[in-house]
Chains A and B, each alone.
Chain A
Amino acid sequence: MDGNHTLGLLMQGLNHVTLQSLVMIGVACVLMYLGIVRKYEPLLLLPIGAGCLLANLPLSPLLAEDGMLRVLYDMGIRNELFPLLIFIGIGALTDFGPLLENPRLVLLGAAGQFGIFLTLLLALLLGFSRPEAASIGIIGAIDGPTSIYVSGLLAPHLLGPITVAAYSYMALVPIILPPIMKLLTTQSERRIRMPYSQRQIRRRTRILFPIVVTVLVGTLVPFATPLIGMLMLGNLMKESGVVERLTQASSNEIANAVTLFLGLAIGSTMVGSEFLKPSTLAILVLGLVAFTVDGVAGVLFAKLLNRLSGGKLNPLIGAAGLSAFPMAARVVQRVAHEEDFENFLLMHAMGANAAGQVASVVAGGVLLALMGAG
């Protein structure tokens, strides 16, 4: 008996291996493969994959009460600290200059959020609850930290699949956007050249911009205050030029450390019993719908603006109205350059992209307000 008991104790790891945990270890390996081999958002997918792997090992002590992954989750996901810290770094890296040079581009940022709300309605039709549907819709922001922030507040049990979907689709921006852009535009539209605007933005304007946006958005959409506040804090530090060390730390050391913690903690939520559900598949599909509709709405709205401007606006830049900064803008430049090697839309696309960054945060705040989150 004692021998059997001892053997049981020694073998308890093997005894607790389940089919679900094996499948999730497979999922973890796929995420790590995508990050390491395919270079899809490796900074996120590798830690998420590792967190998922560690969480699904039998009797994982890392998920116990004082286990490291549980501690990371409690200290940075449950209270939304990690996505907000990352937003400071994003703000410190974002150049709003192209948007300030051409403020009309803010309209494209707004159009790029259409998919969020359409997907929310689709998710409701599929039977998801209102908070769940809002969390799924926010994948359409194509903004990892915003998705984590909103779903962490509204539907924490869906955090794993929503985060994986948000970051996966962010990595797929260069693959998913170009066909949409080409399908919805004519060759002559894609060849429209937009002269580079050389308007000089004063330092005072660059410094006032984050303060004014924070006050404005924070007043109009109070639920967006944490996100927009941290985004603009990072930008204010960058533009002020007087806290170079803090700017560097926010965009490098802090952002890197928090990215590791965030990835591990998100990965730890991907345990088989929560992840291996039909709802996960639905979330991945709906996320793709949200992303696609964002791209379509952005390009179509830009086509409308092109008509109104007498053919001066290249509709391709509408696709940059997403949040995936600066990847979406680069994709726009690449597609335009393929059509006409003398066409450089990059600065205009960057303006639309920066607008998309702000708009997605506002959209997140609007969703939280609609859901009555606190």
Chain B
Amino acid sequence: MRRYTLGIGGREFVVDVRELDADRFEVAVGEQRFEVTLQGDEDLPDARVTPALPAVGATASAAPKATPPQRTVRPRAAGSSLSALAAPMPGVILELHVKAGDRVERGQAVAVLDAMKMHNLIGAPRAGVIAEVCVAAGQAVGHGDTILRFGD
């Protein structure tokens, strides 16, 4: 389960998202619970947020940076975020090929993930400079755990 703490118009909302299946989520906002079906998942960097938000600032401590209008919850999946790389499945990080400050190209192998006793090369989802490597070699990771963040 993942908890998002959102500050909207000065009020704080705690949203708990539990993945029931690949495209089904249980979302709890305060006392209310919803079962949400994910209809689509794509990056829309130029998408406008609808409906237009009032002028007051909205901040999110753990939420992804853009929310396409057609869905309620954005899942965490490898390569789907432009700002971070997430583990595509549970396993153990065997090797890390990069460190903070390194510049990588899209597809460049950045880590080796051991899952079901298979060594899986994890490639960078985009070109950029690594701001932070969030895991260490030998560390167990779950699906969606952040492996590294980009700084640009």
CA distance A195 to B116 in the complex (A): 17
Interface string of A304-342 (1 = CB under 8 A from B): 000000000000000000000010011001000100011
Known contacts A95-B116, A329-B116: A196-B121 contact under CB 8 Å: no
Contact of A346 with B23 in the complex, beta carbons under 8 Å: no
Interface presence of A347 (CB below 8 A): yes
Interface presence of B107 (CB below 8 A): yes
Main secondary structure of the interface of A (DSSP, over half): loop
CA distance A333 to B121 in the complex (A): 11
CA distance A333 to B118 in the complex (A): 9
**CB-contact partner of B123 in A326, A342, A347, under 8 A:** A342
CA distance A329 to B115 in the complex (A): 12
Known contacts A196-B88, A196-B143, A198-B19: A341-B121 contact under CB 8 Å: yes
Contact of B22 with A326 in the complex, beta carbons under 8 Å: no
In the assembled complex, how far is the CB of residue B27 from the closest CB belonging to chain A, in whole angstroms?
Answer: 15
Interface string of B70-91 (1 = CB under 8 A from A): 0000010111000000001100
Main secondary structure of the interface of B (DSSP, over half): loop
Q: Which residues of B contact A198 (CB under 8 A)?
A: 19, 22, 143-144
Interface presence of A5 (CB below 8 A): no
Interface presence of A350 (CB below 8 A): yes
In the assembled complex, how far is the CB of residue A240 from the closest CB belonging to chain B, in whole angstroms?
Answer: 21
Contact of B77 with A337 in the complex, beta carbons under 8 Å: no
Q: Which residues of B contact A202 (CB under 8 A)?
A: none
In the assembled complex, how far is the CB of residue A356 from the closest CB belonging to chain B, in whole angstroms?
Answer: 15
Interface presence of B5 (CB below 8 A): no
In the assembled complex, how far is the CB of residue B149 from the closest CB belonging to chain A, in whole angstroms?
Answer: 17
In the assembled complex, how far is the CB of residue A119 from the closest CB belonging to chain B, in whole angstroms?
Answer: 30
Tally of A interface residues using CB under 8 Å? 19
Interface presence of A4 (CB below 8 A): no
Q: Which residues of B contact A121 (CB under 8 A)?
A: none
CA distance A344 to B125 in the complex (A): 13
Interface presence of A197 (CB below 8 A): yes
Known contacts A194-B22, A198-B143: A344-B88 contact under CB 8 Å: yes
**CB-contact partner of A344 in B19, B21, B89, B144, under 8 A:** B89
Interface presence of B120 (CB below 8 A): yes
Contact of A337 with B21 in the complex, beta carbons under 8 Å: no
Q: Which residues of B contact A337 (CB under 8 A)?
A: 120-121
In the assembled complex, how far is the CB of residue A275 from the closest CB belonging to chain B, in whole angstroms?
Answer: 35
Interface presence of A199 (CB below 8 A): yes
In the assembled complex, how far is the CB of residue B113 from the closest CB belonging to chain A, in whole angstroms?
Answer: 9
Contact of A196 with B118 in the complex, beta carbons under 8 Å: no
CA distance A95 to B117 in the complex (A): 11
Whose C-beta in chain A lies nearest to the C-beta of B41?
A: A195
Known contacts A195-B22, A196-B22, A196-B143: A344-B78 contact under CB 8 Å: yes
Q: Which residues of B contact A346 (CB under 8 A)?
A: 89, 115-116, 118, 120
In the assembled complex, how far is the CB of residue B95 from the closest CB belonging to chain A, in whole angstroms?
Answer: 16
CA distance A330 to B117 in the complex (A): 9
Contact of A197 with B123 in the complex, beta carbons under 8 Å: no
Known contacts A195-B22, A197-B21: A341-B118 contact under CB 8 Å: no
Whose C-beta in chain A lies nearest to the C-beta of B38?
A: A195
Among the interface residues A197, A198, A346, which one has the most CB atoms of the partner chain B within 10 A?
Answer: A198
B-contacting residues of A (Cβ < 8 Å)? 95, 98, 194-199, 326, 329-330, 333, 337, 341-342, 344, 346-347, 350
Given contacts A195-B75, A197-B22, 4 further A-B contacts (CB under 8 A): A196-B89, A326-B118, A347-B89, A347-B116
A-B pairs with beta carbons under 8 Å apart, 24 shown = A98-B116, A195-B23, A195-B41, A196-B22, A196-B88, A196-B143, A198-B19, A198-B22, A198-B143, A199-B21, A326-B118, A330-B118, A333-B118, A333-B120, A341-B107, A341-B121, A341-B123, A342-B79, A342-B88, A342-B125, A344-B89, A344-B120, A346-B89, A346-B120
- Return the 8 tightest CB-CB contacts between A and B, nearest first: A195-B22, A342-B79, A344-B88, A341-B123, A198-B19, A197-B22, A330-B118, A196-B89
